[in-house]
Amino acid sequence: MAKKLFTFLSSLTLIFLFTYLAAAKPTGFSRTLSPSSLGLRKEKLTHLHFYFHDTVSGRKPTAVKVAEALMTNTSSTGFGKVSVADDPLTTGPELGSKLVGKAQGIYASAAQDETALLMVLNFEFTEGKYNGSYLSLLGRNPITNTGLREMPIVGGSGLFRFARGFAQAKTYTFDLKTSDAVVEYNIYVLHY
């Protein structure tokens, strides 16, 4: 009996000891760094301006529908429709103007009372010093609103590491027959 009690007590002591050691030891997957160790100096604000060409018609569309709900065709807002886009970004409103990147991602009709899209896009830049850097946008886009639609920029890569900011989108042209659109974007981001 005494031996059993002794064994029980020593197991208990071992358990406590292990718990204590586990809590006291650093876990080994995180550490605190100074921002300069990643070469981060002063944060700056950058403004980007370009036109986004969303072409859904013709033989070479840049945005395609990939899914919809059974009831999407009964919804005045196209609720449930999901599209994937690889839309060119140019410096001017004409598609033939200088290409600076692509907007690649998904937009989904996510509102029943107005046409508003959930936008999940990566802006991939291919010109100038931002060639190879990306910005990620995640936001709500009420596309029939003719004013400025604002969407958050939630991050970036390359020169846009640690980016955060906002995009303002304004429809430049919308073709009622084809639904092709050109949208003017102004993006303001803080990054290093």
Ligand X SMILES: *[C@@H]1O[C@H](CO)[C@@H](O)[C@H](O)[C@H]1NC(C)=O
Residues in touch with ligand X (CB under 6 A): 70, 73-74, 126-127, 131-132
Q: What is the DSSP letter of 62?
A: S
Q: Can you tell me whether residue 85 is helix, strand or coil?
A: strand
Other Cβ atoms within 10 Å of 8 Cβ, number: 10
Nearest approach, Cβ of 45 to ligand X (angstroms)?
24
Nearest approach, Cβ of 69 to ligand X (angstroms)?
9
Q: DSSP E strands: which ranges in the chain?
A: 44-54, 63-67, 82-90, 99-109, 116-125, 134-142, 149-157, 164-174, 181-191
Nearest approach, Cβ of 110 to ligand X (angstroms)?
19
Q: Are 166 and 150 in contact (CB under 8 A)?
A: yes
Nearest approach, Cβ of 72 to ligand X (angstroms)?
8
